[in-house]
A and B are shown apart, each in its own frame.
Chain A
Amino acid sequence: MNTSTLLAAEGEGWAQQGLLAAQRSIEANERRFSRFLPESELSRLNQSAGQWVTVSAEMLDLLQQSVDFYRETEGIFDPSILPDLKRVGYDRTMDEVRADDLSTPASIRTERPRFDQMELDLARGRVRLPRGLEVDLGGIAKGWIVEQAASLLDAYAGAHAVNAGGDMIFTGLPEGEDNWTVYLEDPRHPSEMLAELNVKAGAVATSSVLKRAWTQAGQARHHLIDPRTGEPAQTDWLSVTVTAPRLTVAEVYAKVLLICGESALEKAAALHPEMRYLAVEASGNLVGTAAHRPNLVQWLQ
């Protein structure tokens, strides 16, 4: 997941065992879904485009969910934008990209298969990627992995939390607490907090256009690609935080709302009525679902 992870659980010895089991689960699934590890299951799948490949039940489940989200968001959530990301300069680690003077402009976008042209054989546990399709499960894999870890912890503790780089799930409430407090980073100044959000059980995820940003031939770039153009998305907001019962939903819709802005709200609310959002405008103002307002403590600017 290329990020830091925090696990918390109520209880003592037994809860500690649960935390270690959850940690092992996260590490195993990260090795499975990473595109940075050449021996990962995902890397082997990408290297076998054009052929049927037998995959694990975990991989099959996540690919199936990814196709479902691709279709319901009409391709705005697209795990196959990796060639575009590389084309606009993000072809190495972020430290290397930022350190380099990327003076060469982006190359011309080439045609590639659509993500939903991938074939899934659920009965036989096989997948075939069309030639030219490269999958990067990135954010949705992080959400899925955290969901699995939280499910594991259910057997060990009544109240627990799993946070992977700002994507998190809360289950139950610690004894004596009325809510979990989540601090919203100011996207303009990541070391500063913009607000506190009090949440009960559920998932929280945030997408930002300023977290991974660089310049290419004098042009400002970021890692959130709009699949309709193949270019970094032109967004009304700097970041979007979504709360939902499922973390994969929160993760996918934080991206979709950031890319599409208000135009995506109506459909998103119809598909996921329990979902709520908070967006940060360029001025630092917060906008979002009215239902969040009583749970929000905005910090003084």
Chain B
Amino acid sequence: MKAFKSVLRVWLAATSAVIFLATWVILGHSPNPIDSRSHTSVASLPTIAPFQPLSDEDARPFGWQLFSQNNRQQQQPRARFVTGGS
């Protein structure tokens, strides 16, 4: 019985520690609203999703490009804005 209680205590302590660490990691990495006073200085806009070029304007599904600025990916290509009519 004593041995069982000891094992139970150890198990409860370990579980509590794991839950605490997981909560700390999740909260520490949750997104925050952008703070206009502390923008990171970033020059490049990396590609996040692949772009599907369209030849037929009517029949094909949309192509999407999503860019968000990320200072860990300085070497990624910049967003390119081309206008030519539809």
Interface residues of A, Cβ cutoff 8 Å to B: 1-17, 19-20, 23, 27, 30, 36, 92-95, 139, 142, 156-158, 161, 163, 165-168, 174-176, 180-185, 187, 190, 193, 204-208, 210-212, 239, 241, 254
Taking A19-B48, A176-B42, A206-B84 as known contacts, 8 extra A-B pairs with beta carbons closer than 8 A to each other, sorted by chain A number, are A4-B52, A8-B67, A8-B69, A174-B45, A176-B43, A184-B84, A185-B83, A208-B84
Point out residues on B near A: beta carbons under 8 Å.
31-34, 36, 39-43, 45, 48, 51-59, 62-70, 79-86
Task: Point out the residues of chain B lying under 8 angstroms from A94, CB to CB.
Answer: 56-58
Residues of A within 8 A of B68 (CB): 8-12, 15-16, 19
The 10 A-B pairs with the shortest beta carbon distances in the complex, nearest first, are: A185-B84, A208-B85, A4-B63, A13-B31, A93-B58, A8-B67, A166-B83, A6-B65, A95-B56, A8-B79
Q: Are B86 and A161 in contact (CB under 8 A)?
A: no
Known contacts A3-B57, A12-B70, A174-B42; A166/B65 CB under 8 A: no
Q: Is the CB of A175 within 8 A of B67?
A: no
CB neighbours (8 Å) of A36 from chain B are 58
- Contact pick for A156, options B34, B45, B55, CB 8 Å: B34
State whether A4 touches B54 (Cβ < 8 A): yes
What is the chain B residue whose CB lies nearest that of A2? B57
Q: Are A182 and B83 in contact (CB under 8 A)?
A: yes
Given the known A-B contacts A14-B31, A158-B34, A174-B42, are A23 and B84 also in contact in the complex, defined by CB atoms under 8 Å?
A: no
Q: Are B81 and A181 in contact (CB under 8 A)?
A: yes
On whether the beta carbons of A95 and B59 are closer than 8 Å, the reply is yes
Chain B residues near A187: list those with CB within 8 A: 84-85
Complex CA gap A82/B43 in Å reads 44
